[in-house]
Amino acid sequence: MNYTVNSSSFDSGWSALSTSVIDVCVQLVLYGIYLVLFILAIHTLTRRKSGGKKLLLGYTWTMIVFGTVQLVVCLVQAAINVRCVEVLVKQDVAGNLTSQPELARLARLDKSLTIAQFMIFAVNNLTTDSLLLYRCFVIWGSDWRPVVLPGVLMACTFVAGCVDNLVAVPAALFRLPYIFAALTNLALVGFIGGRIWYIRQDARVVAGDRLRKRYDMVIAMILESGAVYFVVSLLLAVLQSRMAFYTLQAIAIHTVNIVPTLIVVRVGLGHTIGTDETGPASGASNINPQP
């Protein structure tokens, strides 16, 4: 959160503190949900004997580390804002500016943590997207051509996010990371869902309605998760310059982990069709038509 350090009033401090408290509450609720899903994911994956378990476990542990670190950073920023308000109140009562050096120090620390928060979020988002990219690669029979476009968009999302966070750029470019993120999501959902739908057509002929229904479940799951990613990315782009952006950012921080972890739980429970390598269909190894 940003607050004004050169004002004799503590209105800006209270505003930053209230926003920070809302963000902490949102993150604690979502992190609680995510922690439950994480435990379920680890439990189901450790009992799973099919291929791809180690990779999914690796991604699951990586995501919980990122999610936990971001929550800790949010809590520290909230503590900084509390201290900022305390200093501003004392300054207002005393009627002097002796606390300005401390306010400046708090501002610098808060800015550093904000940069760290956004950088961790960028890396976290790249990690979760890379899991979907790998699933796309496997579903397409280890064909690299379908992953080129989403891979390029992923790289653009990460680079734009880092540049936006570390370099002073025109305001018009602030939305680029979230626009690229939305496009990345559309590309991944399109290639993964399209491939599964194509395989489903043959599954209907070869295996009948039972396997077809399982493919339908997988497609629905991909579309649901894709819709969540897309809507959050779009809202972040639209609300970039408004205070609601920070709350939405707090939601996005854990949403990027909740959605893939929920998919991992469903894979571990056997609610998808599975593949040898974390893909959603074991049928893909038996019914694997070429594009």
Any domain includes 125: yes
CATH number of the domain that 21 lies in?
1.20.1070
Q: Name the least confident of 89-93, 96-100, 179-183, 262-266.
A: 96-100
Any domain includes 138: yes
Any domain includes 291: no
Percent of the chain whose predicted confidence (pLDDT) is above 70: 74
Mean pLDDT in residue range 254-281 = 64
Q: Name the least confident of 17-26, 41-50, 145-154, 201-210.
A: 201-210
Any domain includes 195: yes
For all residues of the chain together, what is the average pLDDT? 77
Mean pLDDT in residue range 25-37 = 92
Specify the pLDDT at position 288: 34
Nearest to 280 by CA among 154, 153, 143, 131: 131
Q: Name the least confident of 24-38, 135-149, 256-270.
A: 256-270
Residue 207's domain comprises 11-286
Any domain includes 3: no
Specify the pLDDT at position 126: 92
Asked if 140 and 147 count as a contact pair (C-beta separation under 8 A), the reply is yes
Work out the number of other CB atoms within 10 angstroms of the CB of residue 279.
27
Specify the pLDDT at position 148: 94
Any domain includes 4: no
Better-scored residue on pLDDT, 208 or 186: 186
Q: What is the count of structural domains for the chain? A: 1
Q: Name the least confident of 118-132, 151-165, 241-255, 267-281.
A: 267-281
Residue 66 has pLDDT above 90, yes or no: yes
Mean pLDDT in residue range 253-269 = 81
